[in-house]
């Protein structure tokens, strides 16, 4: 193993290391945000019902990503810690079992989604156009979701060994393919058939699968720290347990947002389908703020895990401090943008007068949660790096299930939709307080007595 590359996360100055590892990941997360938004931008040109269908479908897509990202978090923590400990056998076990788990996740998720998609849409609305468009879109996405699982997993292998630039390139390549083919396949440009909703789904799959191919090439060509093998591979139960000891709480934590979106969609549908479309727009647009912070998280997990394995206390503390400050700056800028240009943002989606009336106060209120979320999101990564996945889970559960949804439901009973949006900043303040308590406990248990 190359000694210099092996020790980069333990020797490079912390500020430079975070930029080196996290900046490409933050940029790649912006590419992921494009995945989230591009379909909605073009689908809104079909009809508002088509936009609502994509918004209702998003929890299923988010659940798919939750399984892939959560498993990737477990792979990342185990693989990076093994690198810090110079345990090549465990590094390879983490990588190869991670790819195996991606295939298993694809088969399971695809089967359930194809079977339950009709029931899912009909349980939320009786508007036939929304149901039909939604079923077409999500069934195609489910059939080809191997691209999601493999692209994220292979990207995590690159991130875990410090090759974040390659992970960024895979995300951007996939996003570019999606952006190019979305209008072509939706509206039938350049001689292609006009496919509507099906075209939006196919363009998304094309981007994900192409990104997977590029990510596989980068791992085989440049990722010398790991050895991928198909011949003679056998699943290792001990490794899988270690991956999911961190990964399962991360999956649940990510999946909680799907439950939250599903619950919010149902609450908002009691007002109007337009309110649901507004929420869908907000949730996808806020990914341009939140996902770069998650990209920062993806970078600091291997940095903290490596230095935890190598027992570098001061580097861990400095990484946490820089990450909190960086996240706050990003989220504060996002809040300012949402407060300053809410109407212009909604008009990108062909917003009607009714949508603007509902959406402008919605975007202003919900975006207040950004500055509170910055600390909680960084803490989620810190807890994961120390294999305290359940700490991350409790922060997320409090924020999106135990506080946000109940408060939104209670406020909806007033009949004033503008009150419902206040559930978001209230939920973030609650999770911020819990994250502070858990960080203090983690510091006492894992960091304060660590020999440097």
pLDDT digits (tens, 9 = 90+) for 278-312: 998 898 888 888 888 888 887 888 788 888 877 78
Chain position carrying tokens 């689908």: 43
pLDDT tens digits, residue range 269-278? Answer: 889 889 998 9
Mean per-residue pLDDT for 64-82?
Answer: 86
Q: What confidence category does residue 408 fall into, taking pLDDT thresholds of 50, 70 and 90?
A: very high
Whether 6 has a pLDDT exceeding 70, the answer reads no
Confidence check: pLDDT of 39 > 80 = no
pLDDT for 51 equals 86
Say which residue the tokens 């410090």 belong to. 162
- At 4 the pLDDT is 40
- List of residues 6+ apart from 317 with CB closer than 8 A: 447
Q: pLDDT > 70: what percent of the chain?
A: 97
Instruction: State the DSSP string of 163-176.
Output: -HHHHHHHHHHHHH
272 neighbors 359 (Cβ within 8 angstroms): no
Averaged pLDDT for residues 370-376 = 90
In this prediction, residue 451 has a pLDDT band, given cuts at 50, 70 and 90, of low
* pLDDT score at 424: 93
Query: In angstroms, what CA-CA distances link 178 with 306, 350, 389?
Result: 35, 21, 33
Q: What is the pLDDT of residue 3?
A: 41
Alpha helices in 161-272 (DSSP H): 164-187, 197-222, 237-269
- Give the C-alpha separation, 304 to 165, whole Å: 19
Q: Is 184 helix (H, G, I), strand (E, B) or coil?
A: helix
User: What is the per-residue pLDDT for 356?
Assistant: 93
Confidence of residue 252 (pLDDT cuts 50, 70, 90): confident
Question: Does residue 446 contact residue 386 with C-beta atoms inside 8 Å?
Answer: yes
pLDDT tens for 426-449 read 999 999 999 999 999 988 887 877
Model confidence at 389: pLDDT above 80:
no
pTM, to two decimals: 0.74
pLDDT value at residue 395: 87
**To the nearest whole percent, how much of the chain has pLDDT over 90?**
35
Contact 379, 431 (CB under 8 A): no
CA angle 114, 116, 118 (to 5 degrees): 90
Has residue 253 got a pLDDT over 80?
A: no
Q: What are phi and psi of 161, to 5 degrees?
A: -100, 15
pLDDT given at position 9: 65
Q: Both tokens of residue 239?
A: 């490794």
Supply 221's token pair.
């060509």
Quickly state the pLDDT bin for 48 (edges 50, 70, 90).
Answer: confident
Q: Please, what is the average pLDDT of the chain? A: 86
Helices (H), 312-444: 313-340, 342-347, 353-366, 369-385, 389-397, 405-412, 417-420, 423-442
Q: How many of the other CB atoms lie within 10 Å of CB of 228?
A: 16
What's the CA gap between 265 and 62, in Å, rounded? 14
- Closest to 92 in 3D by CA, of 221, 223, 216: 223
Which of 4-13, 97-106, 233-242, 432-441 is predicted with the least confidence, judged by mean pLDDT? 4-13
Neighbours of 88 (CB within 10 A): 15
Over residues 221-225, the mean pLDDT reads 87
Mean pLDDT in residue range 38-56: 85
Taking residues 123-133, what's their average pLDDT?
87
CA distance 144 to 142: 5
Residue 54's pLDDT is 87
Which residues, at least 6 apart from 99, have a Cβ–Cβ distance to it below 8 Å? 150, 153, 154, 228
Token representation of residue 452: 């440097």
Residue found under tokens 């996405």: 141
């Amino acid at each position: 193993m190359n000694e210099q590359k092996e020790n980069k996360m333990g020797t490079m100055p912390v500020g430079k290391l975070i930029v080196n590892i996290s900046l490409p990941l933050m940029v790649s997360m912006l590419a992921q945000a494009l995945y989230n938004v591009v379909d909605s931008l073009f689908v809104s040109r079909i009809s508002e019902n088509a936009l609502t269908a994509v918004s209702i479908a998003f929890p299923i897509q988010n659940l798919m990503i939750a399984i892939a990202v959560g498993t990737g978090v477990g792979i990342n923590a185990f693989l990076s810690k093994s690198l810090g400990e110079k345990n090549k056998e465990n590094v390879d076990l983490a990588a190869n079992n991670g790819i195996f788990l991606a295939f298993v996740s694809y088969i399971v998720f695809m089967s359930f989604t194809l079977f339950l998609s009709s029931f899912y849409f009909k349980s939320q609305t009786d508007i036939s156009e929304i149901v039909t468009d939604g079923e077409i879109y999500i069934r195609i996405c489910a059939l080809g979701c191997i691209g999601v699982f493999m692209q994220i997993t292979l990207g995590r292998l690159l991130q875990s060994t410090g090759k974040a630039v390659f992970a960024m390139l895979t995300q951007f390549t996939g996003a570019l393919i999606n952006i190019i083919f979305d209008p072509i396949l939706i509206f039938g440009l350049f001689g292609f058939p006009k496919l509507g909703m099906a075209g939006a789904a196919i363009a998304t799959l094309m981007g994900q699968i192409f990104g997977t191919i590029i990510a596989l090439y980068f791992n085989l060509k440049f990722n010398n720290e790991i050895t991928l093998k198909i011949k003679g591979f056998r699943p290792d139960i001990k490794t899988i347990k270690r991956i999911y000891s961190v990964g399962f709480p991360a999956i649940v934590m990510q999946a909680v947002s799907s439950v939250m979106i599903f619950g919010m969609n149902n609450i908002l549908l009691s007002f109007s389908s337009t309110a649901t479309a507004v929420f869908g727009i907000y949730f996808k647009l806020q990914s341009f703020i939140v996902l770069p912070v998650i990209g920062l998280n993806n970078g600091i997990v291997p940095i903290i895990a490596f230095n935890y394995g190598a027992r570098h206390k001061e580097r861990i503390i400095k990484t946490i401090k820089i990450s909190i400050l960086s996240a706050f700056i990003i989220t504060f800028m996002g809040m300012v943008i949402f407060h300053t240009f809410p109407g212009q943002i909604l008009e990108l989606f062909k917003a009607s007068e009714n949508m603007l009336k509902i959406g402008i106060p919605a975007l202003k209120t919900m975006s207040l949660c950004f500055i509170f979320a910055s600390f909680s999101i960084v803490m989620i990564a810190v807890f994961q790096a120390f294999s305290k996945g359940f700490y991350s889970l409790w922060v997320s559960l409090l924020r999106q299930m135990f506080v946000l949804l109940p408060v939104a439901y209670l406020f909806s009973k007033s009949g004033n939709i503008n009150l419902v949006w206040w559930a978001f900043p209230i939920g973030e303040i609650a999770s911020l307080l819990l994250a502070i308590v858990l960080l203090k406990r983690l510091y006492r248990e894992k960091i304060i007595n660590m020999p440097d």
